[in-house]
Amino acid sequence: MTSEDKIKQAFKDRDWNEIKTHDSWVIFKVMAEMVEGFEKLAKIGPCVSIFGSARTKSDNPYYKMAEEIAAKLVRHGYGVITGGGPGIMEAGNKGAKSEKGKSVGLNIELPHEQGNNMYIDPDKLISFDYFFVRKVMFVKYSQGFIVMPGGFGTLDELFEAVTLIQTNKIGRFPIVLVGEEFWGGLFDWIKGTMLKAGNISPEDLNLINIVETPTDAVRVIDEFYSKYLLSPNF
């Protein structure tokens, strides 16, 4: 019985469709997604999340890099979490699958994009209706974020993580941006505009690493945890 089924059973005297259409009852749908996510992801062990555009094609260099990064992460003892869709997400799951590593997909249905990709472990696919619940799962169960070029959704996930770390709402973990050509202009703006205006502190710049190669991306993750004498193989 799924988490949603359990909640349905608990409220069997009410119409489930009616519950979902009333704002005050949405909390139970949110609870169902939270419970399912916690129950499944608590068992997967250490993982790194890979983010990026769903629109990236398989012949794009960044697709190939994401695939290689995921494979390297598995060889270094990590599983891989993605948003479960096509593009960079597919590349991340494909790379993890190629090394027989844990391949997790946190999928969300969107109007103009496909469903989950074929490289996710069947028992590690979770579908969400709510973006905010999905983002909780990324932050709670990731040992690091590797961020490939992407759109507004990628930026949303990036800056939410940076904000939570900056404000000490979560413990620090490594955040790696791949591709100076793509990310350099944004980082220059952060330094030249946000920092200059006093809206962030100089040390906030250290929360983000920009790298060019898959090897460097994985190295940042490894070096971060080596400082704390932690191993991904716990």
pLDDT at 66 over 90: yes
Nearest to 110 by CA among 91, 88, 128: 128
| Alpha carbon of residue 224 to chain centroid | 18
pLDDT band at 14; cut points 50, 70, 90: low
Q: Hey, CA dihedral for 94, 39, 153, 50, is it positive or negative? A: negative
For the segment 152-177, the average pLDDT, to the nearest whole number, is: 96
- CB burial readout 49-82, b (16+ within 10 A) else e: bbbbbbebeeebebbebbbbbbbbbbebbbbbbb
Q: Calculate the alpha carbon distances from 208 to 140, 147, 203 in Å.
A: 18, 10, 10
Give the chain's domains with CATH numbers.
Answer: 1-43 (no CATH), 46-226 (3.40.50.450)
pLDDT band at 234; cut points 50, 70, 90: very low
Percent of the chain at pLDDT exceeding 70? 85
pLDDT at 88 over 90: yes
pLDDT band at 16; cut points 50, 70, 90: low
pLDDT at 134 over 70: yes
pLDDT band at 151; cut points 50, 70, 90: very high
pLDDT at 210 over 60: yes
Mean pLDDT of the chain: 90
Task: Identify the pLDDT of residue 233.
Answer: 41
Tokens 């790298």 label which residue?
Answer: 211
pLDDT at 58 over 90: yes
For the segment 10-39, the average pLDDT, to the nearest whole number, is: 74
